[in-house]
Amino acid sequence: MKEISAGIIVYRHTPDGLKFLILYHGNNYWNFPKGRIESEEKSFQTAVREIREETGLLRSDLKFSDYFKVHEKFIFWGTRENEKVKIFKIVIFYLAETKKRQIIISGKHEEGYGWFTYREALKILEKHKDSQRLLNQAHNFLKKIGAVKSTHGPNVNWKNKHRLQNLNKPKIPYGNLQHKNTPEAQ
């Protein structure tokens, strides 16, 4: 039997760097939000539906990374129509940024969630090598496009001298800085 699911690796920028959303399903099992493709859905539609159902995040809360789509494949024994069957599963993942910190867990299959730095997430997912591989792919992609900032200070050399101009600007945790003298803040 073949089963296809889709999900989203969600991240957000924090003062501590990027943090990834991982859901807790009980029995020490953590993973990214995902679910089975229903009827005539496309994988992207499924991923958006599942993230809404499992976390309360809407499509408008997410900014998807173009050119990122990865998958994992595995085989497991499951029960379908009261019979034990071998299932070949493919899970397709997309990558999206959110500014929302608060997640609303549906309670059906998820028991909780956490926002984890890359290293923390690797540790949480240590029993699930495929999930670690997906996290690595997402993290490497984000580094490649410049979304991952070093938390150990700038790497100063002549090639990135132009970056020094921005070093003294304050870091705004969620990007919603309102100055006192702007009409919006009054």
Residue 134 lies in a domain: yes
Taking only the tens place, the pLDDT of each residue in 54-105 is 999 999 999 999 899 999 998 989 898 999 999 999 999 999 999 999 899 8
Residue 49 lies in a domain: yes
Residue 163 lies in a domain: no
User: Which residues, listed in sequence order, are joined to residue 95 by a DSSP beta bridge?
Assistant: 9
Taking only the tens place, the pLDDT of each residue in 3-59 is 999 999 999 999 989 999 999 988 888 999 999 999 899 999 999 999 999 999 999
CATH number, residue 60? 3.90.79.10
For the four alpha carbons of 96, 152, 171 and 166, in that order, the dihedral sign comes to negative
The pLDDT, as a whole number, for residue 108 is: 74
How far separated are the first and last CA of the chain, in Å rounded?
Answer: 61
Query: How far lies 83's CA from each of 1, 73, 87, in Å?
Result: 12, 22, 12
Residue 62 lies in a domain: yes
Residue 63 lies in a domain: yes
- The rounded distance, in Å, linking the Cα atoms of 68 and 93 is 8
The pLDDT, as a whole number, for residue 109 is: 81
Residue 70 lies in a domain: yes
Of the candidates 78, 71, 25, 18, the one whose C-alpha atom is nearest the C-alpha of residue 44 is 71
Rg (CA), the chain: 19
Residue 184 lies in a domain: no
The model carries a pTM of 0.77
Of the candidates 34, 31, 38, 13, the one whose C-alpha atom is nearest the C-alpha of residue 135 is 31
Residue 167 lies in a domain: no
State the residue for tokens 């996290």: 135
The domain of 9 spans 2-144
Give the chain's domain count: 1
